[in-house]
Amino acid sequence: MHDEDSLAKALANVPVRELQATLVRRVPLGPLVESPVPDFLFTSGKAYRYNTRGIHCVYFAEDERTAVAEYERHNVSRHQPFVTYFAEAVLKRIIDLCSTETVKALGLKPRDLRAPWVGARRPTVTQLLGKALNSGSVAAAIRFPSEAARAQRFAGAKVVVFQDCVRRPDFVRILGPTKKPLQRWPD
């Protein structure tokens, strides 16, 4: 049985890698344009696959096909406008759960990565892993296999970036029509 402490200890010795990539998000347009200035790096603080409630992070896909699959899986209403946007990410230390070596180093099994988190009575292993990572700042992000891509029978990956763990020289910046980013972490 995994708990936050055992995962924090495992994280101290897990292999990390660098990520330099253009990441993608597709979200419903409505919430993005409700405020005078769109918040492309909005964090709700709600629990999700790799975070417990109160942890601020943003989930990206590594490619547009995966972003579309994830959007379609999580947004039942197909008749609403959406927006797809891109972020340049340079993160020196990420945990790569697409690597079997990393999964084994954490003492996890592939099924642990797919455990249902919606409606779970207790935090799942993946949520505890994100909580431990956010507390210890071992890395700024977790890369993991996309369940939506798997359901559509292709290999896709997502990256969850933890706001409190992104420190210079690392950055995530939302790309726009000019060289000036629309938004960035850290500010």
- Per-residue DSSP letters for 26-90? EEEHHHHHSSSS--TT------BTTB-TT--EEEEESSHHHHHHHHHHH----SS-EEEEEEEEE
pLDDT in tens, 110-129: 999 999 998 899 999 999 99
Q: What is the pLDDT of residue 187?
A: 87
User: What is the average per-residue pLDDT within 155-177?
Assistant: 97
| Mean pLDDT for the chain overall | 94
Of the listed ranges 27-36, 48-57, 59-68, 124-133, the one predicted with least confidence? 27-36
Identity (one letter) of the amino acid at 37? V
User: What is the average per-residue pLDDT within 180-185?
Assistant: 97
12: tokens are 């101290």
Q: Quick check: 156 pLDDT over 80?
A: yes
Question: What predicted TM-score, i.e. pTM, was given to this entire model?
Answer: 0.95
Inter-residue contact 183 to 174 (CB < 8 Å): yes
Q: Quick check: 137 pLDDT over 80?
A: no
- Per DSSP, the residues of 88-108 read EEEEEEEEETTSHHHHHHTT-
Q: Quick check: 163 pLDDT over 90?
A: yes
Q: Quick check: 1 pLDDT over 70?
A: no
Q: What's the rounded Cα separation, in Å, for the pair 72 and 112?
A: 23
Q: What is the pLDDT of residue 77?
A: 74
Domain ranges of the chain: 4-185
